[in-house]
């Protein structure tokens, strides 16, 4: 993602951190423009959690109860690594 005002690119980890810490606004370090997550980001985050739960409990259904939970956590973290490429932001005035 790049800033609409000054065309500065946001780092991958900066975008990922705003997602992991509750859809925080992202601020450009160069021009101080602020961007907020669009509603589609929250939908993608919810789908990621639902898919992770569904798949981990199907794959590990015959295992002890802790294994599907650990599988869910690991799968959620791995899937979230792809989200910064799909997230969309809206500039605040």
pLDDT recorded at residue 90:
94
pLDDT recorded at residue 68:
86
For the chain, the DSSP string reads -B-TTT-PBPPHHHHHHHHHTTS--EE-TTT--EEEE-HHHHHHHHHHHHHHHHHHHHHTTTS-THHHHHHHHHHHHHHHTTGGGT--EEE--
Average per-residue pLDDT in the chain?
A: 90
Q: Report pTM.
A: 0.78
- pLDDT tens for 9-51 read 999 999 999 998 999 999 998 998 999 999 999 999 899 889 8
pLDDT recorded at residue 41:
92
Considering only residues 16 and 65, tell me which one the structure prediction assigns the higher pLDDT. 16
pLDDT recorded at residue 1:
83
């Amino acid at each position: 993602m790049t800033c609409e005002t000054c065309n500065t690119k946001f780092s991958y980890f900066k975008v990922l951190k705003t997602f992991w810490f509750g859809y925080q606004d992202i601020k450009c370090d160069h021009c101080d423009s602020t961007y907020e997550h669009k509603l589609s980001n929250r939908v993608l985050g919810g789908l990621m959690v639902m898919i992770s739960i569904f798949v981990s409990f199907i794959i590990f259904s015959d295992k002890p109860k802790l294994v599907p939970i650990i599988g869910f956590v690991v799968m959620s973290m791995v899937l979230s690594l792809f989200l910064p490429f799909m997230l969309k932001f809206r500039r605040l005035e």
